[in-house]
Amino acid sequence: MKQMIIASTSTVHGSGYLEYIINELEHFFKNTDEILFIPYARPGGISHDEYTANAHQAFSKINKSVRGLHTFDDPKKAIQNAKGIFTGGGNTFVLLNQIYKNDIIDALKSAVNSGTPYLGTSAGSNICGLSIKTTNDMPIVYPPGFNALGLVPFNINPHYLDPDTNSTHMGETRETRIKEFHKYNTPPVIGLREGSWLSVSDSSIVLKGPLSARIFEHHKTPYELDSGSELNQLN
């Protein structure tokens, strides 16, 4: 049975790394003491070791250890043997490029579809969708393609920001960019606000956290979905 937490962010304002969701994670990863961490997104260009240490520090608060995927000689086998997987945020293009480079897309999909608990934050959530075309990141590297894991039947826009009516900034809003995406693509897009996450249990997808999500469907007016609502109808 598929078990996933697809979170907009790892850190909300005023709290530490994963702190806002740590109680949820203690229950989510209750059946394992070690989390396999995929540090490929490298926020700010930090090293895989540095990033893994950050994740380990957060999970140590709930008595879980963390080991980085980069330390294994056979990353596919490591994924196959993992009892829990966490892919952190950073640059989505860097993350997906490294996933392609190490040829682990099928291994990840198989593990999650077979029931290995999977946590994604930010970039690690972006790759759960059909493609990474709705990421906010700069394409600083060039992956072989934009197709992602396709573990949910839509795209995700983490860190979704609402238009600021008081701002004098004349650049495009997130809503404008997602509507532009729908001029060329048809999949729905979930605008996940900070502190929100999707809880996936087999075929059930439920919005969790304190805030609503902004839902964008092709040829439809965007609308709000309240926390606690199902997203199963989107495809």
User: Hey, which residues are catalytic here?
Assistant: 122, 137, 159
Contact in structure between 60 and 91 (CB atoms under 8 Å): no
Contact in structure between 35 and 55 (CB atoms under 8 Å): yes
Contact in structure between 90 and 42 (CB atoms under 8 Å): yes
Task: Name the residue type at position 41.
Answer: A
3-state secondary structure at position 190: strand
Contacts of 61 (CB under 8 A, 6+ apart): 22
Look up tokens 């994670």; give the residue.
Answer: 25
Backbone angles phi, psi at 204, to 5 degrees: -90, 130
